[in-house]
Amino acid sequence: MGSRLGGEDDDAITDINITPFVDIILVVLIIFMVTTTTIVERSIKVELPDAATGEAVSKDVSVAIQMLADRTLTLDGAAITWEALRSYIRSERSKTKADGAELICLIGADKNVPHGEVVKIIDLVRQEGVTKFAINIQPVPRPDAAPPEPSL
């Protein structure tokens, strides 16, 4: 007579093995992390001015208006003329007003752009009835802020 070591192994497997599921999720996470960094790198480089009092804005419907160092005007990353910008804001504002949302303009300019050009953008936006706009900045630590706690 032969005997088996380890007892009876004829019972059905009733436990769920989640190891393959965790492996798949980790691979998907790595794929998202790698592709996100390549998406972020595809942007227009603008040197934003520094300010310590910047805040995040709530976004109903937002458009990004930037002026590059060579005074090229861009809308969401694409070059645009002043007249085309005016008509775009007008049409977007009418769409958002119909939906009950608000149009928010995020205005950015290279730190070497004259102040008058930024004021010209703000004036255009306000002429078209947009009351909410924000000036993009590069946040820097405030001099009176406490240093971050060291992590262990």
Domain assignment of residue 107, yes or no? yes
Domain assignment of residue 58, yes or no? yes
Domain assignment of residue 92, yes or no? yes
Domain assignment of residue 90, yes or no? yes
Mean pLDDT value across residues 45-66: 72
The domain containing residue 125 runs over which residues? Answer: 50-139
Domain assignment of residue 147, yes or no? no
pLDDT per position as a tens digit, 107-144 = 999 989 999 999 999 999 999 988 888 888 887 777 77
Q: DSSP 3-state assignment of 64?
A: strand
- Spatial strand order of the sheet with 132-135 comes to 78-79, 73-75, 61-67, 103-109, 132-135
Domain assignment of residue 55, yes or no? yes
Q: Which residue has the tokens 């492996």?
A: 23
Write the CB contacts of 101 (distance below 8 Å, at least 6 apart in sequence): 60, 61
Q: Which residue has the tokens 């730190």?
A: 111
Its pTM stands at 0.56
Tell me how far CA of residue 24 lies from CA of 15, 37, 61, 80, 90, in angstroms: 19, 20, 35, 44, 47
Domain assignment of residue 94, yes or no? yes
Domain assignment of residue 35, yes or no? no
DSSP notation for 93-126:
HHHHHHHT--EEEEEEE-TTS-HHHHHHHHHHHH
Domain total in the chain: 1
pLDDT per position as a tens digit, 51-61 = 777 665 544 67
> In this structure, what CATH number is given to the domain that contains residue 63?
3.30.420.270
